[in-house]
Amino acid sequence: MNTYKTVRQFASNELVEKRSRFIGYCKPVSTQDEAIAFINEIKSKHWDARHNVYAYVIRNEGVSRYSDDGEPQGTAGIPVLDVIRKRGITDCVIVVTRYFGGVLLGAGGLVRAYSAAAKLAVDASGEREMTVCSVCSLSCSYTMYGKLPSMIASFGGSIDDSSFTDDVRLVFHLPEENLAAFNKELSEESSGKLQATEEEKQFFDK
C-alpha cells in the first residue's frame, strides 16, 4: 500500500444528549501499545465517568479493537469503530467518555450519540494522507545547490536536512514513483555528474 489516511493530531470535542455528556477524544498512534496507553490515560482522567468506550485500528500490526465498556453490546464500541472504518483512516484511537445524565437513551440513541461524538473528535483532529517516499541523499557543488530546492519541489519533494562544508550535502524525500524522473533531470542539469542515492523508504504527509 503506497498511501493511507490517518488523523493529524490529538483533539477532542463533545456533545450533550438528553443530559448525558459524551466527550470524544482522537489521537494518531502507530502501535497497539500507544493506543492502550492513551485509553488508560483517558480512563484515569475520567475515572468518575460511567463509561469510557474506545476503538482503534493499527495499520502495521493489522489490529482493530473496540470496547463497549459496560454499555449494551453493539451500541458503543462498534459505532466508534465504524466511524474509523467509514472514514478510511488507520493508526488512530478514539475514546468516547460518557457521563450519564439520568435519562436512558435506548439502543438507537446510544449508537447515534457514540457515532456523533466519534465523528466530532475525528473532525477536530483533522485527516491527512500519507504516501510512501524515497528518502535520498546527494552531495553537490554550491553552484548546483542553487538549482536543487526548486527542482526537488517540482517533483513533489522536500529537503529534510542540509550540511555545508567544501560541498553541500542534502537529505530529501520525494514520492518514490518520481525518483527515476528526478534523477534523469538531475543528470541532465549536472552533465551526468550527479545522481541521488535512495537511502530508505518512509511515509510522509502528502
Question: Which residue's entry shows cell 468516547?
Answer: 96
Quote the CA–CA distance of 88 and 3 in Å, as a whole number.
Answer: 11
Question: Which residue's entry shows cell 438507537?
Answer: 108
What number is the average pLDDT over the span 117-124?
97
Answer yes or no: are the C-beta atoms of 93 and 118 closer than 8 Å: no
pLDDT category of residue 104 using cuts at 50, 70 and 90: confident
pLDDT in tens, 134-144: 999 999 999 89
Quote the CA–CA distance of 54 and 60 in Å, as a whole number.
Answer: 19
Q: Give the start-to-end residue ranges of the domains of the chain.
A: 3-125, 129-205
Same fold, 3-125 and 129-205: no
Q: Would you state the cell numbers that stand for residue 57, as one nine-digit string? A: 485500528
What CATH number matches the domain at 3-125, 3.60.20.10, 3.40.50.1980, 3.30.230.30, 3.30.70.20? 3.30.230.30
pLDDT in tens, 12-44: 999 999 999 999 999 999 999 999 999 999 999
- Ranges assigned E (strand) in the chain: 3-7, 11-17, 20-28, 51-58, 63-67, 92-99, 127-140, 158-164, 168-175, 197-205
b/e per residue 172-192 (b: at least 16 CB within 10 A): bbbbbebbeebbeebeeebee
CA angle in degrees (0–180, nearest 5) for 75-106-96: 45
Q: Which of 23-32, 50-59, 79-88, 136-145 has the lowest mean pLDDT?
A: 136-145
Q: Is domain 129-205 given the CATH code 3.30.70.240 in the classification?
A: yes
Say if residue 1's pLDDT is above 80. Answer: no
Quote the CA–CA distance of 85 and 194 in Å, as a whole number.
Answer: 45
> C-alpha distances in angstroms, 52 versus 16, 40, 42, 94?
15, 9, 8, 10
What number is the average pLDDT over the span 35-64?
96
